[in-house]
Chain A
Amino acid sequence: MSLTNEFTKGIIRENPLFRLLLGMCPALAVTTSVDNGLGMGVAFSVVLLASNIVISAMRSIIPNSVRIPAYIVIVATFVTMIDLLMHAFTPALYTALGIFIPLIVVNCIILGRAEAFSGKNPVLPSIMDALGMGAGFTLALVLVSAFREVLGAGTFFGQTILPENIPAIMMILPPGGFITLGCLLAILNKIQKKTA
């Protein structure tokens, strides 16, 4: 396993949202506009990177029987730090993402990576793993939110691109999230089958 491989696997082959189907809650809830999706993705990536580094550095001293509580404390610490820093430096994004920042604590991708990867691998591959998984999740969120924002609100990054009577408001409501995600998964599965 080369380092580049650890990075690229998170983007397509093991994309956390499209291939592992993890982190569905934020993926459905915050993807009503591209800047929300991007903001969530970046905040998530920072937490994942920090927690992967610390967990893999501590992997030999964390006793196996209490590793899950230790992981959760580490992840929760970083999330709270991000929460405070975002509130202080990017208030607009902080208001838009609301409850989903604290919810990164229980984001299953982060715990999943700790359990599946950084708890067993050295620091450098764990960094690549976090960067790849973070980029993959961010890309997936941006893709879902781009579809939803364009079709639901007729805007892209807040810029109006469709005339007023075309967008279907349903696309930025919860049903639109499920429909978009379902269609994207179907398309990706089809492509995957062809190349496999």
Chain B
Amino acid sequence: MRDIFKLSLFLLVVAGISGAGLSYVNSLAMPLIAEQIRQNKIDSFKEVYPQSDKVENESGVYLKDAHDPALKEVNIAYRSGMPAGVLYAVETKGYSGTISILAGFDIADSRLTAIKVLSQTETPGLGAKAKDRFFQDRYKDKNTTLPLEVTKTAPVKDNQIQAITASTITSKAVTKGVNAAREHFNATFGAGKQ
């Protein structure tokens, strides 16, 4: 009986010291991590919608009604105080996990400005190429009238996106996510809506 008490006390002390050490390291690292996440977000906003003075998360306003579950965030980009662009954070199911994407739209000329894959767990060397510049550039400056579709050959129409070789599932997943944002954009910010 006394043994059990002694042993538990020992483990309690070890765990207590560990906890104290961890909370100290955590207090050092947390501000840096938070700052990094914030900076990353600002950088990706700049990448998909460069011409803006500030970006505000207005998901509360635009996502309060029933919406496509793929849509996670709606951020509005302001230029001289006027809403100029919309930045959607969307999540879509890829080949081996969730792919999260940021898609930017320009309100004035109803076009998709650019997309950026924020995180993915696709197969290295295949689907993981979705985060490479060359694939994301295929979405640049697309008109929003027609749904985007994936082709395996070089695109002939404006709404076609050429898939990554041997990674059709990933390419389709990204396109599906971008289309979800496109539909919400058309319904909310399309010509004549605002």
Q: A73-B15, A84-B25 are in contact. Are A173 and B125 (CB under 8 A)?
A: yes
**Chain B min CB distance to A111 (Å):** 16
Q: A66-B11, A70-B14 are in contact. Are A88 and B124 (CB under 8 A)?
A: no
**Which of B18, B25, B121 meets A74, CB within 8 Å?**
B18
Residues B151-167 near A (CB distance < 8 A): 166
- Residues of the B chain whose Cβ atoms lie less than 8 Å from the Cβ of A175: none
Query: Number of contacting residues on A, CB 8 A?
Result: 28
Give the dominant DSSP class at A's interface.
helix
Instruction: Please tell me if the beta carbons of B18 and A66 are within 8 angstroms of each other in the complex.
Output: no
Instruction: Please tell me if the beta carbons of B22 and A169 are within 8 angstroms of each other in the complex.
Output: no
Q: How long is the Cα–Cα vector from A21 to B113 in the complex, in angstroms?
A: 51
User: Taking the complex as formed, is A163 at the interface, i.e. its CB lies under 8 A from any CB of chain B?
Assistant: no
Residues A47-68 near B (CB distance < 8 A): 61-63, 65-66
**Which of A62, A63, A81, A153 meets B22, CB within 8 Å?**
A81
Stretch at the interface among B28-36, B85-93, B99-107, B134-142: B28-36
- Residues of the B chain whose Cβ atoms lie less than 8 Å from the Cβ of A77: 18, 21-22
User: Taking the complex as formed, is B26 at the interface, i.e. its CB lies under 8 A from any CB of chain A?
Assistant: yes
User: Taking the complex as formed, is A152 at the interface, i.e. its CB lies under 8 A from any CB of chain B?
Assistant: yes
User: Taking the complex as formed, is B42 at the interface, i.e. its CB lies under 8 A from any CB of chain A?
Assistant: no
Q: How long is the Cα–Cα vector from A77 to B15 in the complex, in angstroms?
A: 9
Query: Number of contacting residues on B, CB 8 A?
Result: 25
User: Taking the complex as formed, is A142 at the interface, i.e. its CB lies under 8 A from any CB of chain B?
Assistant: no
Residues A21-59 near B (CB distance < 8 A): 32-33
**Which of B10, B36, B40, B166 meets A63, CB within 8 Å?**
B10
User: Taking the complex as formed, is A87 at the interface, i.e. its CB lies under 8 A from any CB of chain B?
Assistant: yes
User: Taking the complex as formed, is A85 at the interface, i.e. its CB lies under 8 A from any CB of chain B?
Assistant: yes
Most buried by B among A33, A88, A89, A173: A88
User: Taking the complex as formed, is B126 at the interface, i.e. its CB lies under 8 A from any CB of chain A?
Assistant: yes
- Residues of the B chain whose Cβ atoms lie less than 8 Å from the Cβ of A32: 124-125
Q: Which residues of B contact A (CB under 8 A)?
A: 6-7, 10-11, 14-15, 18, 21-22, 25-26, 28-30, 32-33, 36, 40, 119, 121, 123-126, 166
Q: Which residues of A contact B (CB under 8 A)?
A: 32-33, 61-63, 65-66, 69-70, 73-74, 76-77, 80-81, 84-85, 87-89, 91, 95, 98, 152-153, 169, 172-173
